[in-house]
Structure 1
Amino acid sequence: MGRFNVQEVAYLSEHILGRLATTGTSGKPHVVPIRYHFDPEREVIKIGGRVLEGRGQERLYIRHLTINPQAALVVDDVADGQTWQPRGILIKGAAVLHTEGGEVLGPGFGPNWVEVVPDFVTSWSIDSPA
């Protein structure tokens, strides 16, 4: 293991929904829900985007990442709704924009995709059963 411990790899592999945070020139954060793919071999996060009618793959977070190629991703859930046991993982790192190959990341996805290369990882309570 390099960037992630065993529990973090398992947690990221069990989920597909996260929240991506970026900032543009204003410095104001922009947070959006995204579907991600964890690549455990390369220890990176891959984020594709659906092709939407009338705007294709145009997204504010993509524009932000062309200006400031740093991103944060939170993947979290509640282990037990009865006792409110939140758990999750926070990943920060460089974002690399790709213009081809994103179609394999999901149905209806276009060629553009983002690869987040972690340089900071922290997690909480992910060893608690769901």
Structure 2
Amino acid sequence: MSNTFTEAELAYLESQPLGRLATVGPGGRPHVAPVGVFYDPEADAIVVAGHAGTDFGASRKFRDALAHPEVAYVVDDLASTDPWTPRGIEVRGTAETFAEGGEALGARITGVMPFAPAWLRIRARRVLAWGLDGGAFELSARNVA
């Protein structure tokens, strides 16, 4: 049971393996990158990691999160185009950076995908969702921390 996400939000996150991570780079410049997303039920948090063999720890998104831990993560899609039915979730929070441990974490939470050693955990502070617990244009926004 999550204290952060609703059942519909968790089901959606687990069904959508790709989203976008927004970080703040040097000089306050924004950076958005497509990344895989995973939910870690033990931590009740979002995990972002690179596939084994990549140098995720040297990536701009990892360096940005290390320097400026306030991040946002967005997953969205269209459930239908007729009628237009958008749905998605935005998680705003704090990124915790880890230089090691991704391999074991990937094995634990995915069972199949090997992670690179470095990884991020996003602790949600605010969750915004649409088209998940209500209508396609009904926004649900709440502070969770």
Same fold by TM (over 0.5)? yes
Instruction: Give the % identical residues.
Output: 39
What is residue 31 of structure 2 aligned with on the other side? 30
Gaps of 5+ in 1: none
Residue deviations 1:50-102, cap 9 Å, x none? 334xxx33211111112101110001110002222110000011100112221
Q: CA RMSD in A?
A: 1.7
What is the TM-score normalised by the length of structure 2? Answer: 0.77
What is the TM-score normalised by the length of structure 1? Answer: 0.86
Structure (1/2) with the larger helix percentage: 2
1:73–1:90 CA contact under 8 A, matched in 2: yes
Q: CA deviation at 1:42?
A: 2.6
Letter in 1 for 2:22: A
What is residue 143 of structure 2 aligned with on the other side? none
Q: Distance in 1 between matches of 2:33 and 2:5?
A: 23
What is residue 74 of structure 2 aligned with on the other side? 74
Instruction: Give the match's secondary structure for 1:85.
Output: strand
2:66–2:96 CA contact under 8 A, matched in 1: no
Q: Which has the higher contact order (CA 8 A, sep 6+)?
A: 1
Decide which moves more: 36-45 or 83-92.
36-45
Q: How many pairs were matched up?
A: 124
Letter in 1 for 2:129: S
